[in-house]
A and B are shown apart, each in its own frame.
Chain A
């Protein structure tokens, strides 16, 4: 599945990193970096990451 983050909304809270550390990370400057694709087996955690995003910036396609 495709993981899309609307970077115009993202405020780098990092809540998604707690839900799916392998897909979402913060770099040394605290900015969000994420995988563009995640394995189907990770769907539940990636959906959780999208659900808890304070800015609701994450979509799964």
Chain B
């Protein structure tokens, strides 16, 4: 067996989009990794941190560091939550007693596509997904983790998948965490602009490495009754050929962001 991977599943993925986590596990196991999910994990602290409540975010970040301290490598199917650990823990925990552990942990924490392509040099994961797909470049993955081509490299290796480029694929979808709650009109307008760009591609699916963008976009597309659905990169990579798919346990949702 290859190295053991500790899964960091963002709180909202755990609660609202468990399929993304299930699919992440599937892909990693198919590639031969041992997968561990430390059950004491909760939230990395980003919602409080981004809203300015650093004193409230800090103990959550410290909890996170304690939970993952002994992990060999941490993989997260969200560019934004991985960024929180990688980039912002250094600021948030600057004067914490766990600072050194946090910095060490940050250097072993990776977003899912980043782990596969950059760390492990894997682009072929044996997936089949005979659909048209367009890619939205989620902001934190793109600009904080500099993941521009990694997700696309994985998508290009998927059997049967047709990638359609979207205009302004690098413009924010408008989610932004508490931004969506504090400025619903701006967030909604930005989401609708993104939805228009998605629609112009005519693709069946829009994918991304950040489930938060997809949660927001799924809602916007749903409200518009648009035909395009959202799907997380891990869920595309989890799809195998049709025969295998038929054997899947019914209790697990087939798709979804």
Bind each other: no
